Structure 1
Amino acid sequence: MPYDLKEVAAISGMPGLYRLLKPTRAGVIIEALDEKGTRSVASARNKVSLLHEISIYTQDYDQTVPLSEVFDRIHQKHGAELSLTHKSDDRDLTAFMADIMPDYDRDRVYLSDIKKLVQWYNTVSKRLEYQAPAEEETTTEDGAATAEEALSTAGIIPAAEETNAAGSPEAVTEAKPAKKTTKKKAE
């Protein structure tokens, strides 16, 4: 995930974006993602929309594109500094959206959504660090995996003692040595 959006939220009735810090009895402690970084409490009555749960509609009715992927596309084409703002010309905003996501649903994604997307991207790119996406596993012509990951040993290499915990479905039972029994001679 290029931008970590798990703790970033838009809150109804409050302008801008906020980082969720800690839950309280009455709501959640938030920090504004602006120059001041003021902290306050968002009431439980406010609707909190986490950015990592938001997606953009595509022309395929059953599919959406996560906001983090849209932000990644914007970063790949325009970098952290976006020349557009939410106050830019409507034609420029729709052309920008068509450039970033050619298959976005023009009936369900409104101009106000595009303005919000641009405004959120500008805020996030200024306040959060961009992390390059992790490389995905690729295969060579012979079908061998080239990504570095743990491969199954299929029981050829014995498991470490830590994984042999009681109750583990993968626990390997080792043969216990037979107890030595001594018989007392009857006198």
Structure 2
Amino acid sequence: MGYTNIAAVAGKGGLFNIVKPTRAGVILETIDDQKKKLVVGGNARVSVLSDISIYTVDAEGSVPVADVFKKIKDEFDDDPGVNSTSDDDELHAFLKHLVPDYDEERVYASDIKKLVSWYNILYKHEKDLLSKGSEDGEDEGNENK
């Protein structure tokens, strides 16, 4: 499994494995021990983690979230030191430490909370994926479990 098979759905908390597409949308499965299935329609905003980036002010313009997850794993492992109840200044300082040139005007505290929440979910259920950056976190084939 790679970042191309994990998705976030607008309005739904957590992360989901992409099981398979359907004619009208996509079948998803929660990344937890319950493995609940969910069908989302074509009008739902589904974002694949491999396509999500953090805005930066450098020439690149963004850094893939997979690379940020790898930095968190390498430096903090199981305790990033912030969570969804941390205040905005702590969250921004945390991201500034990881991505010094992130765009402070376009990345909000709510985005950082989501990033930390996703990291914690992946750490608990897909720990081996976090050691891979955006280049080596891609799947060779498009196999679904």
Query: TM-score per shorter chain, which class?
Result: 0.7 to 0.9
Q: Which residue of 2 aligns with 1:26?
A: 24
Q: Which residue of 2 aligns with 1:122?
A: 120
Q: Distance in 2 between matches of 1:46 and 1:76?
A: 34
Deviations 1:55-93 (A, max 9, x none): 111122542111110100111110134332112122221
Q: Higher relative contact order at CA 8 Å, sep ≥6: structure 1 or structure 2?
A: 2
Q: Distance in 1 between matches of 2:60 and 2:66?
A: 18
Task: Assess if the C-alpha contact under 8 Å between 1:81 and 1:125 holds in 2.
Answer: no
| Aligned partner (choices 36, 45, 61) of residue 63 of structure 1 | 61
> Unaligned stretches of 5+ in structure 1?
135-187
* Larger Rg computed on CA atoms: 1
> Unaligned stretches of 5+ in structure 2?
134-145
Pair 74,54 (structure 1): closer, same or farther in 2 beyond 3 Å: same
* TM-score (norm. length: structure 2): 0.81
Q: Distance in 1 between matches of 2:116 and 2:108?
A: 13
Please report the RMSD computed on the Cα atoms of aligned residues, expressed in angstroms: 1.9
Q: Which residue of 2 aligns with 1:140?
A: none
Per-residue deviation, 1:29: 1.1
Task: Assess if the C-alpha contact under 8 Å between 2:53 and 2:63 holds in 1.
Answer: yes
Q: Which residue of 2 aligns with 1:12?
A: 10
Q: Distance in 2 between matches of 1:109 and 1:23?
A: 31
The amino acid across from 1:82 in the alignment is P
Task: Assess if the C-alpha contact under 8 Å between 2:66 and 2:132 holds in 1.
Answer: no
Q: Which residue of 1 aligns with 2:88?
A: 90
Residue aligned with 1:130, SS? helix
Per-residue deviation, 1:47: 1.2
Q: Percent identity?
A: 41
Task: Assess if the C-alpha contact under 8 Å between 1:59 and 1:103 holds in 2.
Answer: yes
Task: Assess if the C-alpha contact under 8 Å between 1:84 and 1:93 holds in 2.
Answer: yes
Residue aligned with 1:60, SS? coil
Q: Which residue of 2 aligns with 1:38?
A: 36
* TM-score (norm. length: structure 1): 0.64
* Bigger proportion of residues as helix: 2
Which stretches of structure 1, 4 residues or longer, exceed 6 Å deviation after superposition?
A: none
Q: Distance in 2 between matches of 1:103 and 1:57?
A: 9
The amino acid across from 2:35 in the alignment is G
| Aligned partner (choices 49, 52, 69) of residue 50 of structure 2 | 52
Per-residue deviation, 1:130: 1.9
